[in-house]
């Protein structure tokens, strides 16, 4: 059984219509103010930021997006005999699961945009329900249980990753025989360090990204081709090597 870990970043979802953040046409480059909408301190202290954030979620592509060829290729590898696949994703879009990856095999390092959490009582509920309230006229819906501030169940700038999730991810990186970093700038720590941890523990490291990353020098292979075609090809090659 070959242990394959796939660290996926925003670049894997651009073919699904979800803009990345740091690429040449990324959201942060086009609109630096947009980062405030997902910064915890701004969100908690400024009602206008919260209203704009809810509007962004309502108008944004994430909840309407469909998995693309790269997501499906990962799920297909998981179903192939002889592979133990784990996905460590920096994305919050849930597209790996929609493509068929079992929930238990996907570790969402930065949380999920498909749920909301109360910052007061920590009650969790669906994003779809919260957005229905926005459509109905609540521009900053409060927690129905305690009246606290609701936020997306994602890790905002200024928040720490869940240490349990990070610890599990590190364990997977250490155990991986093949580690693919796909569509990630590998600039956001501590998630980016998983590539280095895998390489240090003997994994074959493959970086698939349009732009150079800080971990390219550690990689056994660097692929600059479009992810939608490059990743399916790469994963088929993995399967062929195992059969061969």
Could you confirm whether 71 is annotated as catalytic? no
User: How would you write the chain as a 3-class SS string?
Assistant: CEEEEEEECHHHCHHHCCCCCCCCCCHHHHCHHHHHHHEHHHHHHCHHHHHHHHHHHHHCCHHHCCCCHHHHHHHHHHHCCCEEEEEEECCCCCHHHHCCCCHHHEEECCEEEEEEEECCCCCEEEHHHHHHHHHCCCCCCECCCCCCEEEEEECCECCCCCHHHHHHHHHHHHHCCEEEEECCCCCCCCCCHHHHHHHHCCCEEEEECCCCCCCHHHCCEEECCCHHHHHHHHHHHHHHHHHC
Q: Which of 71, 110, 122, 201 is catalytic?
A: 110
Just list the catalytic residues: 110
């Amino acid at each position: 059984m070959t242990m394959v870990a796939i660290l996926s970043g925003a670049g894997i979802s651009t073919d699904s219509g979800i803009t990345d953040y740091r690429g040449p046409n990324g959201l942060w480059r086009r609109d630096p103010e947009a980062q405030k909408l997902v910064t915890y301190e701004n969100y908690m202290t400024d009602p206008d930021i919260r209203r704009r954030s809810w509007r962004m979620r309502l108008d944004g592509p994430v909840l309407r997006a469909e998995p693309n060829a790269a997501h499906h290729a990962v799920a297909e590898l998981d179903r192939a005999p002889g592979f133990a696949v784990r996905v460590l994703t920096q994305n919050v879009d849930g597209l790996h699961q929609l493509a068929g990856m079992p929930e238990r095999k996907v570790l969402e390092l930065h949380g999920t945009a498909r749920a909301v959490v109360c910052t007061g009582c920590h009650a969790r509920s669906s994003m779809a329900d919260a957005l229905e309230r926005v459509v109905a006229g609540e521009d900053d819906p409060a927690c129905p249980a305690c009246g606290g501030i609701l936020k997306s169940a994602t890790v905002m700038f200024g928040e720490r990753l869940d240490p349990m999730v990070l610890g599990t991810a590190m364990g997977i990186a250490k155990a991986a025989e093949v580690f693919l970093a796909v569509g990630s700038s590998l600039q956001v720590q501590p998630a980016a360090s998983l590539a280095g941890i895998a390489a240090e523990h003997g994994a074959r490291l493959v970086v698939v990204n349009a732009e150079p990353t800080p971990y390219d020098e550690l990689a056994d292979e660097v692929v600059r081709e479009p992810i939608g075609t490059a990743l399916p090809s790469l994963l088929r090659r993995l399967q062929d090597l195992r059969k061969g």
